[in-house]
Amino acid sequence: MYYSAHAIFYFKVDDQESFLIQENVYLVKADDDRVAMDLAVSIAIEDQDLNEDGHLELNGKKAQLVFAGI
């Protein structure tokens, strides 16, 4: 069976008052809901960008793209 999982990410910068969010939708094939959820979470964790090498910026500030949840 195929499942659609909506993963929410947010951009984190120093001294921010609001958060810019991003939604990724994953289509996963799994035998049941639990397996689909586990697969979607593992994909989303791999997709986050904690910017350890300093390449990601938002409005000229170093940022991180952090996975918030499904």
- Written as tens digits, the pLDDT of the chain (70 aa) is 999 999 999 999 988 899 999 999 999 999 999 999 999 999 999 999 998 888 899 888 899 999 999 9
Q: What is the pTM of this model?
A: 0.88
DSSP-assigned beta bridge partners for residue 5: 26
| Residue 18: its H or E element | none
CA distance 66 to 19: 11
- pLDDT given at position 37: 98
- pLDDT given at position 54: 80
* Helices (H), ranges, the chain: 33-47
**CA dist list (Å): 44 to 17, 27, 65, 66:** 25, 12, 11, 9
